[in-house]
Amino acid sequence: MSLSPAPYGSNPWQQAHWDARAAANFVWGGMGGGLVVASALSGAGGTALAAPMLVGVALIALGLASVFAEIGRPLRAANVVLNPRTSWMSREALVAPLLIACALATAAGYASLAYAAAVLALLFVYCQGRMVQAGRGIPAWRAPLVPSLFVTTGLAEGTGVWLAIAAWSGGSAPWLIVLLGVLVVLRLALFRTYRRGLGTTIAPAAAAALDAAGRRLAWGGTYLPVALVAAWAAGVPGGAWLAAAAGLLAAAFGAWFKATLVLRAGHNQGFALPHMPVRGVAS
C-alpha cells in the first residue's frame, strides 16, 4: 500500500504530529489538574479531600500515559526533561512528579500540602496551554489567549468533577457551585474573544470545527450548567445532584473543545511565496 504525499504547499493542512493520544493528555491532564485545585479549595478533610485528590492524580497519570504511548521510542522518553529552559513540555514533565507526590501525600493525610498541590496543578495546566501555544505554525494554537483558555477550562472541568464526586460522597462546598457558574461564563467569554481574534486567519475547516465546538461550549457547557446552578440557588430539591449535573456538563464540553482544538483545528498556515524566483532575475 502506497502512502499519499503530504499536502504541503500554499494551502493549509491538518497537522499529523499530535493525535488522539496527545489530545488525551490535554483533556485528562487539564481536568485532573483542575480537580486537584478544586479539592484544595473545597476546605474538605478526610475522605472528602482524599477521594477527589486521588481521582485527580489518576486523571493526570492517564493523560501522561497517553502521551507516553505516542512517543515513537518510549525508552528515550526521559529526554523530555533535558530542556526546561526553552521547552514547555520539559517544564510540564518536571512539574508532574512534584504535583503527583504532593497530591498523594495530601490524600494520605498530610492536608497541609493541599495548597502546594493546587499551585503545582495550576502550573501544570498552564504549561499545557503554553505547549499548545508554542505551535507557531498553527494559527489556532498560537493565539495569545490559548494559555488562559486552557487554565480556565481546566479549572471549570475540575470544579465540575469535584461537584460530581461530592454528590456521591456527601462532600459540601456551596461556594464551589457558584465558582463553577463563574468559570463557565468566563470560559465562554474567553473563547469568543479568542475566536474573534482569529478572524479569517485560520483554514475554513479549522474555523468550522471551532465554531461548532463553540456552539456546544455555549449551550451544553455554559447555558445549561448556569441554569442548573440557578436552580440549585433557588432551592430546588436535589441540589447536590443538580450541581453534579452542571459540573459534568461543564467538564464534558470543555474536554470536547480541547480535543477539537488539537485534533480538528490544528491546521498549518501553509507556505507563502510573495515573489516567485525566476532564474537570472534579481528578486
- pLDDT tens digits along 233-265: 999 999 999 999 999 999 999 999 999 999 999
- Residue labelled with grid coordinates 480535543: 259
The reply to whether 272 falls in a domain is no
- pLDDT tens digits along 118-160: 999 999 999 999 999 999 889 999 999 999 999 999 999 999 9
- pLDDT tens digits along 264-283: 999 988 665 555 566 766 65
Contact 244, 171 (CB under 8 A): no
- Which segments within 145-270 are labelled E, that is strand? none
Q: How far apart are CA 13 and CA 61, in angstroms?
A: 31
- Contact partners, residue 130, CB within 8 Å, separation at least 6: 88, 91, 147
The reply to whether 2 falls in a domain is no
pLDDT at position 2, please?
Answer: 41
The reply to whether 143 falls in a domain is yes
Taking the complete model, does pTM exceed 0.75, yes or no? yes
The reply to whether 255 falls in a domain is yes
The reply to whether 247 falls in a domain is yes
Give me 12's grid cell.
493549509
- pLDDT tens digits along 67-95: 877 665 555 555 566 677 778 988 999 99
Burial label for 213, CB within 10 Å (0-12, 13-18, 19+), is buried
* CATH code, 223: 1.20.1630.10
Crossing angle, helix 239-263 and helix 224-233, to 10 degrees?
Answer: 160
Question: Based on the structure, what is the number of domains in the chain?
Answer: 1
Residue numbers of the domain that contains 83: 20-263
- pLDDT tens digits along 167-180: 988 888 899 999 99
The reply to whether 282 falls in a domain is no
pLDDT at position 69, please?
Answer: 74
The reply to whether 232 falls in a domain is yes
- Contact partners, residue 247, CB within 8 Å, separation at least 6: 159, 160, 161, 162, 163, 164, 180, 225
Burial label for 267, CB within 10 Å (0-12, 13-18, 19+), is buried
pLDDT at position 269, please?
Answer: 80
pLDDT at position 5, please?
Answer: 45
- pLDDT tens digits along 186-222: 999 999 999 999 998 899 999 999 999 999 999 999 9
pLDDT at position 163, please?
Answer: 97
The reply to whether 10 falls in a domain is no
Query: 83 vs 25, which has greater pLDDT?
Result: 25
Q: How far apart are the first and last CA of the chain?
A: 42
